[in-house]
Amino acid sequence: MDRNSRASVQIPSSRTGGLSGVEPQAPDKRTIFCNDRKANLASPFMSNSISTTKYNIFTFLPKGLFEQFRRVANLYFLAISILAATPISPISPITNVVPLSLVLLISLIKEAFEDSKRLQNDKVINNRMIDVLQDQTWESIAWKNLQVGDIVKVKQDGFFPADLLFLASTNADGVCYIETANLDGETNLKIRKALEKTWDYLTPEKASEFQGEIQCEQPNNSLYTFTGNLIIQAQTLPLSPNQILLRGCSLKNTGYIVGIVIFTGHETKVMMNSMNVPSKRSTLERKLDKLILALFATLFGICLIGAIGSGIFVNNKYFYLRLDVGGEGSAQFNPSNRFLVIVLTLFTLITLYSPLIPISLYVSIEMIKFIQSTQFINKDLCMYHKDTDTPALARTSNLNEELGQVEYIFSDKTGTLTRNLMEFFKCSIGEQVYGTGVTEIERQIAERNGMKVEENKSDTAVQERGFNFDDDRLMQGSWRNEPNPNICKEFFRCLAICHTVLPEGDESPQKITYQAASPDEAALVIAAKNFGFFFYRRTPTTIYVRESHVEKKGKVQDVPYEILNVLEFNSTRKRQSVICRYPDGKLVLYCKGADTVIYERLANGADDIKKLTREYLEQFGAAGLRTLCLAYKELRNHVYESWNEKFIQAKSSLSDRDKKLDEVAELIETDLILIGSTAIEDKLQEGVPACIETLQRAGIKIWVLTGDKIETAINIAYACNLISNEMKKFIISSETDAIREVEERGDPVEIMHFIREQVKKELKSFLEEAQSYLRSLNGQKLALVIDGKSLMHALDPSLRVMLLNLGLNCHAVVCCRVSPLQKAQVTRLVKKGARKITLSIGDGANDVSMIQAAHVGIGISGMEGMQAVMASDFAIAQFRFLADLLLVHGRWSYLRICKVITYFFYKNLTFTLTQFWFTFQTGFSGQRFYDDWFQSLYNVIFTALPVIALGLFDKDVSASLSRKYPGLYMEGIRNVFFKWSVVATWAILSVCQSLILFYFVILSSSGAKNSAGKTFGHWDVSTMAYTCVIVTVNLRLLMTCNSVTRWHLIGVGGSILAWFIFVFIYSVVRLENVYFVIYVLMSTIYFYLTLLLVPIAALLGDFIFQGIQRWFFPYDYQIIQEIHRHEPDTGNRQQLLEVGSHLTPSEARSYAMSQLPREVSKHTGFAFDSPGYESFFASQFGVYAPQKAWDVARRASRFRAPKTGRKK
């Protein structure tokens, strides 16, 4: 059969005689037969259909219920419900089944809703259409029907349906441009180049002739690596990531491409990376688990008391109760077997007291946190960045309250504290330094030293995005007059050639734009353009540079440089090299990278330029500039050819390809000639110094972890107020003269041992000095600065404890020259070693491990893509928004969740104890006090709404006051509101209230009669007591609130009203127990007197306790409330004015609503004024002034006196 006449999907493999001849896949590699579906059927390749849902129609109920019953509270109530169905239970199973069912129903509905959205999204993606080669024509099929080995055609702006091997494109030289925003958030275009052998397979007729075999790695989640070979026409061609088009990316600036499917569905790299961010639980939630265990212990304790009481109570002297008569349940009260009585009564009471465990607590907290995240954090206009149109984003709602307890912040520098808008600012070429500008850091250094710096711009100064250089010695061809014009020429060529930048737009200096992997690289290419070496075009093999003034001043010529090899930058190599061929055939290697790695690879000699360049680098670092060294080397043809063979072998390797490529690169990157250095300025973000100062006043310690030189990092730390002149600084550096002497001897073992001993010695010395400073009276603040080499040794298990203790004693820590791994290690050291709540914030892929290691991870949506954001728990656009996120939203969330938990504990304990006291009146028999439905609906209906309002709208002080007094945040760090002492206080008040509620109602009803002259019965008394409980616990919530809004009133009033509506209806339809009870009660004066007086009596003790606490032992926020009690909250609205005119229509509506009059706090003072504010403000300024109750009372009248003069 003629090859061209066959359908492409039926082409048999050239390597097999049929399916039986196909060899099984090796476990470490994948073999794909191109354009041959039959041959590929023998391999278990996945389909291209994807599913991101958690459930399907068969697994939803069992898997959903399993997820719910993993919670201890739900499992407990399931056991109680089962127990309630037994004869020993005094209550109907409905009492526990109803609340459990409601909780499960709400949770399952939420899960189903979220999963249905995933399902709809999956359907849309799976049913997208793609052109596939069939019968020498392009046929459109759904993405889900694609198979490995298919040849597909993707048009411009289309998305790649699977991971493809790039064969051909409509662009010249087999290149295409792709956007990877869906993978890493980067919008800059990236170039991909097909193998030259496959460029012709562009038309369907030609593509149908393609036969080949791909041998590659098995599917993995590494986005930036690929190892494989294409075997075609008896040739083995190495494949690299440059030939791979990943699913989720889109095609740009290219008519269409042709590719072969290599990975499908869930085996594509993007799907293998789509796992969730590691699940984090807040510290408060873990403490809540302990409280639940304490409630279990309490439950078991009161049940055991009741059970023992029952075993003592049953006695033959109560013969008239006929306890020993046989019948159903008689064994439970048989005096002849008291042990059995105790055991059975224990289970009876467990079912009776089951409401003590708050089944709706977790659901309520989840709901509160979800609304806090979506409605408060995400829509806060104070954290909206108008320049980039970026709001804050809570990617999880699990950690809201954790934001209110952070004690240590670990921050990246570039793009986090700085803008990541790089500008070429200064440079050194040969032995000369160029650039007369003054950086922000230099100005601040001069100000600290009492000097004034003036900056004069020259006429030749050029300023454009990425270039802010001023020195007429290099501009407009003046470099030809310098003493080193040849070195200048090599310097400019290195900038113009050694990069991976893509030019876009018109090939003119004014209109061209550059797509670069990093802002640094773009700034260097822009600098070359301004110096007269204009890079304007790139093909897969050639770079075109328009060079000015090279042969003579004013002459312009276009020079093509053939790019033979690119040795790419990575975090291990810390350098990038390009080998190019000049038009005259000369071979040159250009290299740029960190000074530490470049200096190690320089040729011997030229010591003057090395020494001077090192001095210039230190000057640049002291000015806060980012530095790189530039070097070059001329190559001989035979040396290059020999090396290139090794390079091709390493590139073709299927195992450890990256490692082998690095080893081969080391062979050629030697004996380099130093050209000079570059210095790039990255300015601080707006508001960073003020934000850091505010966070430090809040008791938060900030550690900056950066890859910059130690001088740069120190000066940035000064500029952003992290370090001040008043601080004592401990510097641990590997750049000392003693260490350099050892390094010059070249023995790696000796170097490692010497540095380790030096680090150990300095750690020990500094730790002793720090402890002596802390014991002294002056209380000087301390700062630690340590570089990467020293940190590597300091993180050794034998030294890390000293490092941790020293770091914890310091007010600020700066770690320089650190790797991404070291960032994560330092974060984990404090998180686990000090057991403090940590927060990491960064903007790049190198910050992901640090972000995931901390309790809370914050991503900055900046210039380095969205990798950090996608790995984070919260995302903000600017570092300064961190103050609002922590001091306002974090503190409010912590305070609200603490109150919700303690209030839940209080109301459930109060309700259960009234039933417990009734047990003493019934001979410990387990008789129920309340009707089954009363008990069932207590948590889920009659007390549910107010606690939601408490968790959402309670506010101790306004957002503006939270910013004004950052010291308020320390209450969260100290966990003031969720200590065992707080829980114990609530428990004592609950016990007292339950006693009053039960015995006052019992006593008031003992002689009461209804309108028919009959005394009140059991159900009359229990209904009255239940009504008093509902009213009391709801009113107690209002006393808990710091501010009362309409939502609080609606919640409390609605809950009490819901109880009365329910009991009115239920008393009619229930033909036993409580039939018509409420109508009988409301016909008597006793009911109204009891309903009025009993809640007042129950709450009186709480009221007195709160008054004493507020008067003599006020919290910090209560002091602020008293100071500002008569001031309306207008601070937020003033700040919103600046963003009000930059909003979308929907945001404008939200903004307009925020301007409406608000409820003003009505319960900030509780009629008590606390004059004891001196200690709070003393603490704000670092002075220890303990507050004494007698001192507060003595000044009370003096504080209150000015109020009499207030205007009416």
- Residues 1040-1064 have pLDDT tens digits of 998 888 999 999 999 999 999 999 9
Q: What does the pLDDT average to over 950-964?
A: 91
Q: Cα–Cα distance between 359 and 817 in angstroms, integer?
A: 51
Bridge partners of 410, per DSSP, are: 703, 840
pLDDT at 22 over 50: no
Instruction: Over range 94-110, report the average pLDDT.
Output: 80
What average pLDDT does this structure show over 574-589?
92
Which residue in the block uniquely carries the two structure tokens 């499960």?
104
Q: What is the CA radius of gyration of the chain?
A: 37
Residue 188: the pLDDT is 65
Amino acid at 52: T
- CA atoms of 241 and 295, how far apart (whole Å): 57
* Run of H or E residues at 959: helix 959-964
Residue of 671, 827, 838 lying closest to 282 (CA atoms)? 838
Residue 157 backbone zone (phi > 0: left; psi -120 to 50: alpha; other: beta)? left
Higher pLDDT, 776 or 210: 210
Say what the pLDDT of residue 886 is: 95
DSSP 1074-1123: STTHHHHHTTSHHHHHHHHHHHHHHHHHHHHHHHHHHHHS--HHHHHHHH
Give the residue from 694, 692, 703 showing the smallest Cα distance to 783.
Answer: 703
Whether the pLDDT of residue 459 is over 70: the answer is no
Yes or no: say if 494 and 590 are a contact pair by the CB < 8 Å rule.
yes
How high is the pLDDT of residue 291?
Answer: 87
Of the two residues 844 and 1163, the one the predictor is more confident about is 844
Q: Assign 6 a pLDDT band (cuts: 50, 70, 90).
A: very low
- Quickly list DSSP for 1139-1166: TTTS--HHHHHHHHHHTS--PPPSSSST
Cα 849 to the center of its chain, rounded Å: 11
- pLDDT the model gives residue 458: 67
Sorted by sequence, the CB contacts under 8 Å of residue 260 that are 6+ apart come out as 32, 34, 35, 149, 150, 151, 152, 164, 165, 167, 214
Confidence of residue 279 (pLDDT cuts 50, 70, 90): low
- Report the pLDDT value the prediction gives residue 350, as an integer from 0 to 100: 86
The average confidence (pLDDT) of the chain is 82
pLDDT for 19: 29
Among 1056, 1067, 929, 1070, residue whose Cα is nearest residue 997: 929
880 pLDDT higher than 70? yes
Q: Which comes out higher in pLDDT, residue 608 or 1161?
A: 608
Residues 6+ apart with CB under 8 A from 887: 694, 695, 698, 962, 963, 966, 968, 969
- Rounded CA-CA distance 186/945 in Å is 44
> Is 782 within 8 Å of 770 (Cβ atoms)?
yes
- What is the spatial distance between Cα 37 and Cα 22, in angstroms, rounded to a whole number? 12
Catalytic residue set: 412
Alpha-carbon distance of 427 to 1191, in angstroms, equals 64
Report CA dihedral (753, 754, 758, 761) to the nearest 10 degrees.
Answer: 60
pLDDT value at residue 182: 67
Identity of the amino acid at 657: R
Q: What is the pLDDT of residue 323?
A: 56
Coil vs helix vs strand at 554: coil
Q: How high is the pLDDT of residue 706?
A: 87
pLDDT > 70: what percent of the chain? 85
Cβ within 8 Å of residue 748, ≥6 positions away = none
CA distances from 1048 to 450, 945, 1041, 1054 (A): 56, 9, 9, 10
Predicted confidence band of residue 310 (pLDDT cuts 50, 70, 90) = confident
Q: Which residue has the tokens 């108008």?
A: 386
Considering only residues 764 and 413, tell me which one the structure prediction assigns the higher pLDDT. 764
In this prediction, residues 781-790 reach a mean pLDDT of 90
CB atoms within 10 A of CB 586: 11
Which residues sit opposite 301 in a β-bridge?
none
972-986: pLDDT as tens digits: 999 999 989 999 999
- Of 248-252, 328-332, 471-475, 824-828, least confident by mean pLDDT is 328-332
pLDDT for the residue numbered 1208: 35
Hey, is 611 helix, strand or coil? helix
pLDDT at 952: 93
By mean pLDDT, which of 454-463, 631-640, 991-1000, 1152-1161 is the weakest? 1152-1161
Residue 1037 amino acid letter: L
Query: Does pLDDT of 1105 surpass 80?
Result: yes
Q: What is the DSSP letter of 491?
A: H
pLDDT(689) > 90 = no
Find residue 166's DSSP bridge partners.
259
> What's the average model confidence in pLDDT over 491-498?
94
Mean pLDDT of 454-461: 68
Q: Give mean pLDDT, residues 239-243.
A: 88
Q: Which of 414-428, 590-604, 989-1003, 1157-1171 has the lowest mean pLDDT?
A: 1157-1171
Instruction: Please identify which residue in the block is written with the tokens 């969330």.
Output: 893
pLDDT in tens, 386-424: 888 889 988 888 889 999 999 999 998 877 888 877 889
Tell me: pLDDT of 1007 over 90: no
User: Over pLDDT 90: what percentage of the chain?
Assistant: 33
CA distances in angstroms from 425 to 446, 462, 527, 528, 529, listed in the order given: 19, 11, 9, 13, 14
- Higher local confidence (pLDDT), 1177 or 998: 998
Q: What pLDDT is attached to residue 1174?
A: 41
pTM across the whole model: 0.75
Residues 929, 1030, 1020, CA angle at the centre, nearest 5°? 40
- Between 677 and 710, the more confident residue is 677
Exposure string (b/e) for 838-876, b if CB count within 10 Å is 16 or more? bbbbbbbbbbbbbbbbbbbbbbbbbbbbbbbbbbbbbbb
- Candidates 798, 587, 590, 780; CA nearest to 676 is 590
pLDDT for the residue 1003: 85
For 953, the 3-state DSSP assignment is helix
Cα 1075 to Cα 1069: distance, rounded to the nearest angstrom: 7
Average pLDDT over residues 743-754: 81
Q: What is the pLDDT of residues 882-892, one digit of tens each?
A: 999 999 999 99
Whether the pLDDT of residue 372 is over 80: the answer is: yes
Band of the pLDDT at 858, cuts 50, 70, 90?
Answer: very high
The answer to whether 705 and 411 have CB atoms below 8 angstroms apart is yes
Q: Are 940 and 102 in contact (CB under 8 A)?
A: yes
Within the chain, how many helices (H) and strands (E) appear? 43, 35
- Residue 527's pLDDT band (boundaries 50, 70, 90)? very high
